[in-house]
């Protein structure tokens, strides 16, 4: 797939026409053109004629291939010349005022011919760009462009002597177009600011000193110097120095973070206080900031059902309105005695003016991209407006426990011995067995043993075996040590103590003899309770937890967080089966989201309606798998994502209702002779402007407000302790 910037794209309906024409072109597998970002995503067997096809549809546009380098700057087209356009509009307005004075003041007597000549001259001057565009469009055999409709409507008005109204349509249309383009440009500028977060340079340390290079040219293993106030240009880890960094570009959180030797840092973070030397760990094209920006850019390629509907709607709406206008112009005078052609042609012209679908085709894509941009500035990456729509309809959220609702930072709370073993011996055996494991529980056991002042007896990794979802086994010197959960003890037929206490239990056995257990604690994240409350306020009916932890520990977490249910003692493969059971029952209706901490939960993430990877900063696997990526490990981000999805849907539907209702009202008033062309152009241009301004509200980051639903979202929650036959 290739990506192009379509410069000079100032017409939303033109974007739809280009997209539709490309999709009909032989050899083009897919094409999506987003008016908000001016980005064309296209998959084709041959790209040589793409620009030629696009230019044949809209000659003024230019294509710029931005697929070649992920580090290339993404400009959103040429600047909008607001001052020049405003001066031009003021000139048109002055000329229009002269025509109005001559037409209505009655002070200066001019002949009808002279007035008509002056009026037509003003019409041609003020409407030149519209007339020129309309003629070019007709020559391309396209008769349903907004410029063509305005041209036909105003020429019809001139033909029946409504000179002032013809000029009014042009002047007010150009005025509305000015404010519309200004709003869209400012929105694009906000988007451009988001996409311009890439670091501009890197200070490479060499034998001869410091050399300033582009981040794209740095290699893995290079040493770079980052001074206070500079952006960190590449992913890596600190090898000398200490500082505070601002991670808000990536995470949306402005709370500074302390870094020192050995700490990982990400491209895009801002170094605040001290100079640090960093060893580059990934190429710039693979860095976190580039992947984040690519996700934001590519989000426009995945359109929501609402956007696809509007694309189809616009294709049939304008021709239908033109046909209706033609019928209105000629049928009533023919079929109804006493009706004149002049009267009904005027009413038909009103219908033509109001028939442009601009309010919908501009504001709806802009609204969705505003939601995606707003989310990305909060450290929430949504891969398409279809997923934004799905988030708005989420009714069930299923969380993984460890590292998602809890901190995943384990510590040994107690050691209980059995069968003549001492607590110290139990801890020693567990440390020996876990020394080759990277599991968080293993690390907590090793750390607890080191605090005793003893060294772990080194054992060859040849005898080490990870038992998925249950624990570890290590064999050496005719000894076999098992450390794991209750399921592992049952599998090995080892009689052990049942532990109905809060916390994670690691049982220890030596040569088939039960030695005791280690009680390991894990804290609930401070944001978890409020995140779940916020989800409920945003219409989520059911919150469920899946965990491989034991029944007692899971029940404690579920009770403290007021969850609707949980499933405990799950192996990784069990999570998929249990999640599919939740999907098949789906008692809450709506979409089901799964929130996990990355690659370990990939199978469940892939099966959910909305797969969410939490704490995925720097995790390629999580970014690839999930539909929504939360760059921090805060569950509150999930609640914020749902809130943004619902706000986006509300604004999009506000625009749809606004545009269609205003158009319907003016059409009815015009049909009964109660509306003028003035009212029609005000309604068309004004509605478009209001819709665009409404859509751009999403680009402003503010405190999220929940969007309640009519249904009751609180009540007594029934705990499910079903372990699905485990």
Q: How confident is the model at residue 675 (pLDDT cuts 50, 70, 90)?
A: confident
Which residues fall within 8 angstroms of residue 188, CB to CB, at 6 or more apart?
Answer: 36, 37, 38, 76, 77
If phi over 0 gives left and psi between -120 and 50 gives alpha, with beta otherwise, what is residue 20? Answer: alpha
**Mean pLDDT calculated for residue range 237-260:** 86
667 SS3 class: helix
Name the residue with higher pLDDT: 210 or 498: 210
The pLDDT of residue 107 is above 70: no
**Residue 142 DSSP SS3:** coil
- The span from the CA of 236 to the CA of 249, in Å, is 17
CATH number for the segment(s) 411-521: 3.40.1110.10
Q: Alpha-carbon torsion 81, 83, 84, 88, what sign?
A: positive
Reported CATH class of domain 2-67: alpha beta
Quickly tell me which residue has 């984040």 as its tokens: 292
Beta strands in 444-541 (DSSP E): 464-467, 471-476, 479-484, 504-510, 513-521
Mapped onto helix, strand or coil, the DSSP state of residue 145 is coil
Residue carrying structure tokens 């309906």: 13
The Cα 48–Cα 339 span in angstroms is 57
Could you give the residue range(s) of every CATH 3.30.70.100 domain in the chain? 2-67
Give tens-digit pLDDT for 317-328: 888 888 898 999
E strand or H helix at 238: strand 236-240
Q: Are 93 and 171 in contact (CB under 8 A)?
A: yes
**DSSP classification of residue 711:** S
The predicted model gives 342-364 an average pLDDT of 84
Question: What predicted TM-score, i.e. pTM, was given to this entire model?
Answer: 0.78
Tokens of 477: 């010197």
- Report the share of the chain in percent with pLDDT over 70: 89
Per-residue confidence (pLDDT) for residue 426, from 0 to 100: 95
Q: Which two tokens stand for residue 696?
A: 């751009």
468 pLDDT band, cuts 50/70/90, is confident
Distance CA 382, CA 612 (A): 9
Q: Which two tokens stand for residue 406?
A: 């809890």
CATH 3.40.47.10 describes domain 202-295: no
Q: Who's near 305: CB < 8 A, 6+ residues apart?
A: 386, 389
Per the structure block, which two tokens stand in for 465?
């075996």
Q: State the pLDDT confidence band at 645, using cuts at 50, 70 and 90.
A: very high
Q: What is the pLDDT of residue 66?
A: 76
Determine the 3-state secondary structure of 552 from DSSP: helix
**53-61: average pLDDT:** 80
For residues 374 and 480, the answer to whether their CB atoms sit within 8 Å is no
Strand order across the 209-213 sheet: 209-213, 202-206, 223-226, 276-280, 236-240, 264-265
Phi, psi of 209, deg, nearest 5: 130, -150
Q: What is the pLDDT of residue 598?
A: 58
Residues 329-352 have a mean pLDDT of 90
Asked whether 634 and 525 are in contact (CB, 8 A), the reply is yes
Average pLDDT over residues 355-370: 81
Kindly tell me if the per-residue pLDDT of 108 is higher than 50. yes
CA 401 to chain centre: 25
Six token digits for residue 95: 């000329």
Report how far residue 265's alpha carbon sits from residue 268's, in angstroms, rounded to the nearest whole number. 9
When pLDDT is cut at 50, 70 and 90, the band that residue 707 belongs to is: very low
Distance CA 87, CA 83 (A): 6
How high is the pLDDT of residue 706?
44
pLDDT at 85 over 70: yes
Top-confidence residue, 267 or 58: 267
**Which of 477, 472, 479 is closest to 510 using CA atoms?**
479
In the chain, % of residues over pLDDT 90: 33
User: What sign results for the dihedral spanned by CA atoms 239, 244, 248, 252?
Assistant: positive
State both tokens at 537.
């306020």
The pLDDT assigned to 700 comes to 67
Question: Torsions phi, psi of 26, nearest 5?
Answer: -60, 135
Q: Per residue in 391-430, is it b (16+ CB within 10 Å) or e — as a string?
A: bbbbbbbbbbbbbbbbbbebebbebbbbeebeeebbbbbb
What whole-number distance in Å separates Cα of residue 550 and Cα of residue 498? 11
CA 141 to chain centre: 38
pLDDT value, residue 51? 82
User: Over the stretch 494-534, which tens digit does the pLDDT of each residue have?
Assistant: 988 766 666 788 999 999 999 999 998 888 999 999 999 99
Range(s) within the chain of domains with CATH label 3.40.1110.10: 411-521
pLDDT exceeds cutoff 60 at 708: no
Distance CA 582, CA 87 (A): 62
DSSP 310-325: HHHHHHHHHHHHHHHH
pLDDT tens string 578-617: 999 999 988 778 999 999 875 667 788 888 999 998 876 5
C-alpha–C-alpha distance, residues 475 and 465, integer Å: 9
Query: Exactly one of 10, 246, 400, 684 is catalytic; which is it?
Result: 400
Q: Which residues contact 25 (CB under 8 A, 6 or more apart)?
A: 44, 53
- Known catalytic residue at 400: yes
Each residue of 164-198: pLDDT tens digit? Answer: 888 988 888 888 778 777 777 776 666 566 556 67
Which tokens is 282 given?
């990934």
Task: Give the tens place of pLDDT for each residue, 249-306.
Answer: 777 776 788 999 999 898 888 999 999 999 999 998 888 778 777 777 677 677 888 8
pLDDT exceeds 80 at position 568: yes
Q: What residue spans in the chain does CATH classification 3.40.50.1000 cover? A: 376-402+526-646
Cross-strand pairs, 710: none
User: Is the pLDDT confidence value at 69 over 60?
Assistant: no
Got the DSSP string for 333-381?
HHHSTT--HHHHHHHHHHHHHHT--HHHHHHHHHHHHHHHHHHHHTTEE
Distance (Å, rounded) from C-alpha 486 to C-alpha 722? 17
Burial class (CB in 10 A: 0-12, 13-18, 19+), 87: exposed
* Residue 168 phi, psi dihedral angles, 5° rounding: -60, -40
Query: N- to C-terminal Cα distance for the chain?
Result: 45
How far is it, in rounded angstroms, from Cα 310 to Cα 358?
11
In the chain, which residues fall in CATH 2.70.150.10?
A: 202-295
pLDDT mean over 51-80? 66
Q: What is the pLDDT of residue 714?
A: 35
Averaged pLDDT of the chain? 84
Strand partners, 388: none
Residue with tokens 């291939």: 65
For 376-402+526-646, CATH gives: 3.40.50.1000
DSSP helix/strand/coil, 422: coil
> Side by side, which strands form the sheet with 380-382?
380-382, 628-630, 610-614, 591-596, 394-400, 542-546, 565-567
Q: What pLDDT is recorded for position 441? A: 86
Given a cut of 50, is residue 710 above it in pLDDT? no
């Amino acid at each position: 797939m290739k990506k192009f910037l379509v410069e000079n794209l100032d017409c939303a309906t033109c974007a739809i026409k280009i997209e539709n024409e490309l999709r009909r072109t032989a050899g083009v597998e897919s094409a999506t053109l987003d008016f908000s970002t001016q980005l064309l995503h296209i998959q084709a067997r041959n790209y040589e004629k793409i620009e030629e096809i696009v230019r044949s549809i809209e000659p003024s546009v230019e294509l710029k291939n931005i697929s070649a380098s992920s580090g290339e700057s993404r400009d959103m087209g040429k600047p909008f010349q607001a001052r020049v356009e405003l001066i031009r509009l003021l000139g048109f307005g002055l000329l229009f005022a002269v025509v109005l004075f001559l037409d209505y003041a009655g002070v200066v007597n001019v002949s009808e011919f002279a007035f008509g000549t002056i009026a037509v001259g003003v019409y041609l001057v003020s409407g030149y760009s519209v007339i020129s565009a309309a003629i070019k469009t007709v020559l391309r055999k396209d008769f349903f462009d907004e410029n063509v409709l305005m041209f036909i409507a105003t020429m019809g008005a001139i033909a029946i002597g409504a000179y002032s109204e013809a000029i009014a349509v042009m002047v007010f249309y150009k005025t509305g177009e000015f404010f519309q383009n200004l709003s869209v440009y400012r929105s694009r500028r906000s988007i451009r600011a988001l996409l311009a977060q890439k670091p501009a340079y890197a200070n490479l340390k060499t034998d001869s000193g410091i050399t300033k290079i582009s981040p794209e040219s740095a290699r893995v293993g290079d040493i770079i110097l980052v001074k206070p106030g500079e952006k960190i240009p590449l992913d890596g880890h600190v090898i000398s120095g200490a500082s505070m960094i601002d991670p808000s570009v990536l995470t949306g959180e402005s709370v500074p973070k302390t870094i020192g030797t050995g700490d990982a840092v990400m491209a895009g973070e801002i170094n605040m206080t001290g100079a640090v030397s960093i060893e580059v760990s990934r190429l710039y094209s693979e860095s976190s900031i580039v992947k984040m920006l690519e996700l934001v850019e590519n989000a426009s390629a995945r359109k929501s059902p609402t956007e696809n509907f509007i694309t189809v709607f616009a294709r049939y709406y304008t021709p239908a309105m033109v046909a209706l206008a033609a019928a209105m112009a000629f049928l009533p005078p023919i079929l109804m005695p006493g009706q004149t052609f002049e009267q009904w042609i005027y009413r038909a012209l009103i219908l033509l003016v109001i028939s442009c679908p601009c309010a919908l085709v501009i504001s709806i894509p802009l609204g969705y991209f505003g939601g995606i941009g707003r989310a990305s500035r909060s450290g929430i990456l949504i891969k398409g407006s279809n997923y934004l729509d799905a988030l708005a309809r989420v009714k069930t959220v299923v969380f993984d426990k460890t590292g998602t609702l809890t901190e995943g930072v384990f510590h040994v709370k107690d050691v209980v011995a059995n069968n003549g073993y001492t607590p110290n011996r139990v801890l020693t055996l567990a440390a020996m067995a876990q020394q080759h494991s990277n599991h968080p529980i293993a690390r907590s056991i090793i750390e607890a043993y080191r605090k005793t002042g003893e060294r772990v007896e080194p054992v060859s990794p040849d005898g080490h075996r990870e038992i998925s979802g249950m624990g570890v086994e290590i064999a050496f010197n005719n000894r076999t040590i098992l450390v794991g959960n209750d399921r592992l003890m049952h599998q090995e037929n080892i009689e052990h103590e049942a532990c109905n206490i809060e916390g994670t239990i690691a049982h220890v056995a030596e040569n088939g003899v039960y030695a005791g257990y280690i009680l390991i604690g894990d804290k609930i994240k401070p944001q978890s309770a409020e995140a779940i409350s916020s989800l409920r306020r945003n219409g989520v009916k059911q919150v469920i937890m899946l965990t491989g932890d034991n029944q007692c520990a899971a029940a404690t977490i579920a009770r403290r967080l007021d969850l609707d249910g949980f499933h405990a003692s799950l192996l990784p493969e069990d999570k998929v089966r249990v999640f599919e059971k939740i999907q098949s029952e789906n008692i809450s209706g709506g979409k089901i989201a799964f929130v996990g901490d990355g690659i370990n939960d990939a199978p469940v993430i892939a099966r959910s309606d909305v797969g969410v990877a939490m704490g995925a900063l720097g995790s390629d696997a999580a970014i690839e798998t999930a539909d929504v990526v939360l760059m921090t490990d805060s569950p509150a981000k999930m609640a914020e994502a749902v809130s943004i999805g619902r706000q986006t849907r509300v604004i999009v539907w506000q625009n749809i209702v606004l545009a269609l209702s205003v158009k319907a009202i003016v059409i009815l008033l015009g049909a009964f002779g109660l509306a003028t062309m003035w009212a029609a152009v005000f309604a068309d241009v004004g509605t478009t402007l209001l819709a665009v301004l409404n859509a751009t509200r999403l680009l402003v980051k503010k405190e999220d407000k929940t969007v309640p639903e009519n249904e009751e979202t609180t009540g007594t929650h029934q705990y499910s302790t079903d372990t699905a036959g485990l």
